Structure 1
Protein backbone atom coordinates (compact mmCIF):
# COMPACT_ATOMS: atom_id res chain seq x y z
CA UNK A 1 0.00 0.00 0.00
CA UNK A 2 2.79 2.44 0.95
CA UNK A 3 4.63 1.72 -2.34
CA UNK A 4 1.43 2.34 -4.34
CA UNK A 5 0.87 5.71 -2.62
CA UNK A 6 4.48 6.75 -3.23
CA UNK A 7 4.23 5.82 -6.91
CA UNK A 8 0.94 7.70 -7.19
CA UNK A 9 2.43 10.81 -5.53
CA UNK A 10 5.45 10.72 -7.88
CA UNK A 11 3.15 10.36 -10.90
CA UNK A 12 1.10 13.37 -9.80
CA UNK A 13 4.21 15.49 -9.24
CA UNK A 14 5.66 14.61 -12.64
CA UNK A 15 2.34 15.17 -14.41
CA UNK A 16 1.70 18.56 -12.79
CA UNK A 17 1.84 21.48 -15.21
CA UNK A 18 4.61 24.03 -14.69
CA UNK A 19 3.76 26.85 -12.28
CA UNK A 20 3.86 29.49 -15.02
CA UNK A 21 5.88 30.73 -17.94
CA UNK A 22 9.35 32.05 -17.31
CA UNK A 23 9.14 35.72 -18.26
CA UNK A 24 11.99 37.14 -20.30
CA UNK A 25 13.57 40.16 -18.69
CA UNK A 26 15.11 42.94 -20.75
CA UNK A 27 18.28 44.96 -20.65
CA UNK A 28 18.94 48.30 -22.34
CA UNK A 29 22.21 50.24 -22.51
CA UNK A 30 21.90 53.95 -21.70
CA UNK A 31 24.25 56.36 -23.44
CA UNK A 32 24.42 60.12 -23.13
CA UNK A 33 24.58 62.37 -26.18
CA UNK A 34 28.05 63.88 -26.76
CA UNK A 35 28.70 66.71 -24.30
CA UNK A 36 25.80 65.71 -22.01
CA UNK A 37 26.01 64.10 -18.57
CA UNK A 38 22.36 63.02 -18.42
CA UNK A 39 19.35 61.83 -20.36
CA UNK A 40 15.66 60.96 -20.05
CA UNK A 41 14.61 57.30 -20.42
CA UNK A 42 11.00 56.32 -21.17
CA UNK A 43 9.54 52.85 -20.85
CA UNK A 44 6.63 50.60 -20.00
CA UNK A 45 6.56 47.78 -17.48
CA UNK A 46 3.99 44.99 -17.25
CA UNK A 47 3.22 42.65 -14.38
CA UNK A 48 6.19 41.19 -12.57
CA UNK A 49 8.72 41.82 -15.32
CA UNK A 50 11.71 44.07 -14.77
CA UNK A 51 13.93 46.14 -17.04
CA UNK A 52 17.62 46.80 -16.40
CA UNK A 53 18.96 50.08 -17.75
CA UNK A 54 22.75 49.67 -17.92
CA UNK A 55 25.07 52.64 -17.49
CA UNK A 56 28.86 52.71 -17.17
CA UNK A 57 30.37 54.90 -14.45
CA UNK A 58 33.50 55.40 -12.34
CA UNK A 59 34.06 55.07 -8.60
CA UNK A 60 33.49 58.39 -6.84
CA UNK A 61 30.94 59.68 -9.33
CA UNK A 62 27.33 60.27 -8.29
CA UNK A 63 24.27 59.00 -10.12
CA UNK A 64 21.07 61.06 -9.98
CA UNK A 65 17.85 59.13 -10.65
CA UNK A 66 14.27 60.33 -10.56
CA UNK A 67 11.48 57.97 -11.63
CA UNK A 68 8.01 59.28 -12.49
CA UNK A 69 5.00 57.10 -13.34
CA UNK A 70 3.49 58.20 -16.65
CA UNK A 71 0.12 56.46 -16.98
CA UNK A 72 -1.05 53.15 -15.53
CA UNK A 73 -4.04 50.84 -15.44
CA UNK A 74 -3.17 49.96 -11.84
CA UNK A 75 -2.00 51.93 -8.81
CA UNK A 76 1.35 53.00 -10.28
CA UNK A 77 3.58 51.02 -7.92
CA UNK A 78 6.72 51.36 -10.09
CA UNK A 79 10.13 51.45 -8.38
CA UNK A 80 13.82 51.03 -9.14
CA UNK A 81 16.90 49.52 -7.57
CA UNK A 82 20.49 50.51 -8.32
CA UNK A 83 22.67 47.43 -8.71
CA UNK A 84 26.47 47.85 -8.69
CA UNK A 85 28.78 46.13 -11.19
CA UNK A 86 28.83 42.31 -10.85
CA UNK A 87 25.80 42.34 -8.53
CA UNK A 88 23.81 39.13 -8.20
CA UNK A 89 20.73 41.22 -7.37
CA UNK A 90 21.97 43.07 -4.29
CA UNK A 91 21.05 46.75 -4.52
CA UNK A 92 22.90 49.80 -3.22
CA UNK A 93 19.63 51.74 -3.44
CA UNK A 94 16.01 50.57 -3.25
CA UNK A 95 13.39 53.18 -4.17
CA UNK A 96 10.47 51.14 -2.78
CA UNK A 97 12.00 51.85 0.64
CA UNK A 98 13.81 55.17 0.14
CA UNK A 99 11.81 57.02 -2.56
CA UNK A 100 11.80 57.46 -6.34
CA UNK A 101 14.31 60.34 -6.42
CA UNK A 102 17.90 60.12 -5.19
CA UNK A 103 21.57 60.79 -5.73
CA UNK A 104 23.69 57.68 -5.17
CA UNK A 105 27.48 57.79 -4.63
CA UNK A 106 29.07 55.08 -6.81
CA UNK A 107 31.56 52.80 -5.03
CA UNK A 108 33.33 51.20 -8.01
CA UNK A 109 34.09 51.40 -11.73
CA UNK A 110 31.85 49.43 -14.08
CA UNK A 111 28.36 48.97 -15.44
CA UNK A 112 25.53 49.80 -13.07
CA UNK A 113 21.95 48.57 -13.55
CA UNK A 114 18.92 50.70 -12.80
CA UNK A 115 16.34 47.94 -12.39
CA UNK A 116 12.74 49.14 -12.88
CA UNK A 117 9.91 46.95 -11.59
CA UNK A 118 6.38 46.92 -10.15
CA UNK A 119 5.32 45.61 -6.76
CA UNK A 120 2.21 44.30 -5.05
CA UNK A 121 -1.14 44.02 -6.76
CA UNK A 122 0.09 45.70 -9.96
CA UNK A 123 2.82 43.08 -10.40
CA UNK A 124 0.56 40.17 -9.41
CA UNK A 125 -2.36 41.26 -11.63
CA UNK A 126 -0.24 41.97 -14.71
CA UNK A 127 -0.98 45.71 -14.72
CA UNK A 128 0.92 48.03 -17.08
CA UNK A 129 2.59 51.33 -16.23
CA UNK A 130 4.50 53.86 -18.25
CA UNK A 131 7.43 55.64 -16.63
CA UNK A 132 10.13 58.25 -17.18
CA UNK A 133 13.57 58.25 -15.61
CA UNK A 134 15.63 61.42 -15.39
CA UNK A 135 19.18 60.07 -15.16
CA UNK A 136 22.57 61.75 -14.87
CA UNK A 137 26.09 61.06 -13.65
CA UNK A 138 28.44 63.68 -12.25
Structure 2
Protein backbone atom coordinates (compact mmCIF):
# COMPACT_ATOMS: atom_id res chain seq x y z
CA UNK A 1 0.00 0.00 0.00
CA UNK A 2 1.40 3.37 -1.01
CA UNK A 3 1.31 6.29 1.39
CA UNK A 4 0.78 9.78 0.15
CA UNK A 5 2.64 12.56 1.89
CA UNK A 6 0.51 14.88 3.97
CA UNK A 7 -0.15 18.30 2.49
CA UNK A 8 1.92 21.09 4.04
CA UNK A 9 -1.06 22.58 5.95
CA UNK A 10 -1.89 19.23 7.51
CA UNK A 11 1.76 18.65 8.42
CA UNK A 12 1.98 22.05 10.11
CA UNK A 13 -1.24 21.44 12.00
CA UNK A 14 -0.02 18.05 13.17
CA UNK A 15 3.30 19.56 14.32
CA UNK A 16 1.45 22.33 16.19
CA UNK A 17 -0.69 19.77 18.02
CA UNK A 18 2.29 17.62 18.95
CA UNK A 19 4.56 20.42 20.16
CA UNK A 20 2.00 22.79 21.67
CA UNK A 21 1.81 23.06 25.45
CA UNK A 22 -1.43 21.51 26.66
CA UNK A 23 -3.88 24.01 28.14
CA UNK A 24 -4.10 22.09 31.43
CA UNK A 25 -0.37 22.50 32.10
CA UNK A 26 -0.68 26.23 32.65
CA UNK A 27 -3.86 26.43 34.69
CA UNK A 28 -4.29 29.81 36.29
CA UNK A 29 -3.82 30.24 40.01
CA UNK A 30 -5.46 33.29 41.53
CA UNK A 31 -3.42 34.44 44.55
CA UNK A 32 -4.63 36.90 47.15
CA UNK A 33 -3.24 37.99 50.51
CA UNK A 34 -5.88 38.35 53.22
CA UNK A 35 -5.09 41.03 55.81
CA UNK A 36 -6.79 40.36 59.15
CA UNK A 37 -6.19 42.74 62.05
CA UNK A 38 -7.62 43.47 65.51
CA UNK A 39 -10.13 45.79 63.81
CA UNK A 40 -10.91 43.44 60.93
CA UNK A 41 -11.05 39.86 62.18
CA UNK A 42 -12.97 38.36 59.26
CA UNK A 43 -12.74 38.57 55.48
CA UNK A 44 -15.28 37.38 52.93
CA UNK A 45 -14.40 36.90 49.28
CA UNK A 46 -16.55 35.89 46.32
CA UNK A 47 -14.81 33.96 43.58
CA UNK A 48 -15.15 31.65 40.63
CA UNK A 49 -12.91 28.84 39.41
CA UNK A 50 -13.15 26.71 36.30
CA UNK A 51 -11.65 23.33 35.48
CA UNK A 52 -8.21 22.80 36.97
CA UNK A 53 -7.81 26.46 38.00
CA UNK A 54 -7.38 27.20 41.71
CA UNK A 55 -7.50 30.17 44.05
CA UNK A 56 -5.08 30.64 46.95
CA UNK A 57 -5.72 32.97 49.87
CA UNK A 58 -2.90 33.52 52.36
CA UNK A 59 -3.38 34.68 55.93
CA UNK A 60 -0.70 35.29 58.54
CA UNK A 61 -1.42 33.95 62.00
CA UNK A 62 0.24 33.14 65.30
CA UNK A 63 0.30 29.90 67.25
CA UNK A 64 -2.78 29.63 69.44
CA UNK A 65 -4.98 31.93 67.34
CA UNK A 66 -8.19 30.36 66.03
CA UNK A 67 -8.48 30.21 62.25
CA UNK A 68 -11.93 29.66 60.80
CA UNK A 69 -12.72 29.05 57.14
CA UNK A 70 -16.14 28.37 55.60
CA UNK A 71 -16.85 27.69 51.92
CA UNK A 72 -20.29 28.21 50.40
CA UNK A 73 -20.48 26.95 46.82
CA UNK A 74 -22.81 25.97 44.00
CA UNK A 75 -20.77 22.78 43.23
CA UNK A 76 -20.60 19.67 45.37
CA UNK A 77 -17.08 18.98 44.02
CA UNK A 78 -15.72 22.36 45.20
CA UNK A 79 -13.51 22.20 48.32
CA UNK A 80 -10.60 23.91 50.05
CA UNK A 81 -7.38 22.74 51.67
CA UNK A 82 -5.29 24.58 54.25
CA UNK A 83 -1.51 24.38 54.09
CA UNK A 84 0.73 25.25 57.01
CA UNK A 85 4.08 26.95 56.35
CA UNK A 86 6.99 24.53 56.06
CA UNK A 87 4.83 21.39 56.03
CA UNK A 88 4.36 18.94 53.16
CA UNK A 89 1.00 17.59 54.34
CA UNK A 90 -2.10 19.74 54.39
CA UNK A 91 -3.37 20.89 57.76
CA UNK A 92 -6.95 20.43 56.50
CA UNK A 93 -8.31 18.55 53.47
CA UNK A 94 -11.79 19.64 52.50
CA UNK A 95 -12.65 16.67 50.29
CA UNK A 96 -12.46 14.38 53.34
CA UNK A 97 -13.43 16.83 56.09
CA UNK A 98 -16.06 19.13 54.57
CA UNK A 99 -16.38 22.81 53.77
CA UNK A 100 -15.91 24.22 57.26
CA UNK A 101 -12.79 24.48 59.41
CA UNK A 102 -12.12 25.96 62.85
CA UNK A 103 -9.07 25.22 65.00
CA UNK A 104 -6.17 26.79 66.84
CA UNK A 105 -3.09 27.38 64.71
CA UNK A 106 -0.18 25.11 65.63
CA UNK A 107 2.58 27.60 64.68
CA UNK A 108 3.30 31.17 63.62
CA UNK A 109 3.40 31.82 59.89
CA UNK A 110 1.58 32.25 56.62
CA UNK A 111 -1.25 29.79 56.02
CA UNK A 112 -2.65 29.15 52.54
CA UNK A 113 -6.29 28.34 51.85
CA UNK A 114 -6.50 26.72 48.41
CA UNK A 115 -9.92 26.53 46.71
CA UNK A 116 -10.21 23.87 43.99
CA UNK A 117 -12.49 21.50 42.10
CA UNK A 118 -12.17 17.75 42.45
CA UNK A 119 -10.79 16.02 39.37
CA UNK A 120 -14.20 14.68 38.26
CA UNK A 121 -15.52 18.25 37.91
CA UNK A 122 -12.24 19.75 36.69
CA UNK A 123 -12.07 17.23 33.82
CA UNK A 124 -15.50 18.40 32.67
CA UNK A 125 -14.29 22.02 32.88
CA UNK A 126 -17.02 22.75 35.42
CA UNK A 127 -17.39 26.19 36.98
CA UNK A 128 -17.77 26.77 40.72
CA UNK A 129 -19.03 30.05 42.12
CA UNK A 130 -18.17 30.39 45.80
CA UNK A 131 -18.00 32.60 48.85
CA UNK A 132 -15.11 32.01 51.23
CA UNK A 133 -15.26 33.39 54.78
CA UNK A 134 -11.93 33.55 56.63
CA UNK A 135 -11.62 34.58 60.28
CA UNK A 136 -8.78 34.84 62.77
CA UNK A 137 -9.32 35.36 66.50
CA UNK A 138 -7.08 35.41 69.57
Equivalent runs, 1:18-33 vs 2, <5 Å: 18=20, 20-21=22-23, 22-32=26-36
Q: Which runs of 5+ in 1 are unaligned?
A: 1-14
Mean CA deviation greater in 40-49 or 17-26: 17-26
Match of 1:126 in 2: 125
Deviation at 1:23, TM superposition (A): 1.6
Contact 2:36 2:136 in 1 (8 A): no
Residue 17 of structure 1 corresponds to which residue in structure 2? Answer: 19
1:137 aligns with 2:136: yes
Cα distance in 1, alignment partners of residues 66 and 37 from structure 2:
18
Distance (Å, rounded) in 2 between the aligned partners of 1:99 and 1:91: 14
Task: Note if contact 1:84-1:113 (Cα within 8 Å) is conserved in structure 2.
Answer: yes
2:85 aligned partner: 85
In structure 1, C-alpha distance between the alignment counterparts of 2:31 and 2:46, rounded to whole Å: 14
Task: Flag structure 2 segments of 5+ consecutive residues without an equivalent.
Answer: 1-16
Aligned counterpart, 1:41: 45
TM-score by length of 1: 0.77
What stretches of structure 1 move > 2 A for 4+ residues in a row? Answer: 15-19
Structure 2 equivalent of residue 114 of structure 1: 113
Q: In the TM superposition, what is the alpha-carbon distance from 1:81 to its structure 2 partner? A: 0.3
What CA deviation, in whole Å up to 9, does each residue of 1:13-68 have, x standing for no partner? xx943561322322101123761211211111110111110101001111111100
RMSD between aligned residues = 2.0
Determine helix, strand or coil for the equivalent of 2:95. helix
Q: Which has the larger radius of gyration?
A: 2
TM-score by length of structure 2 reads 0.77
Q: Tell me how many residue pairs correspond in the alignment.
A: 119
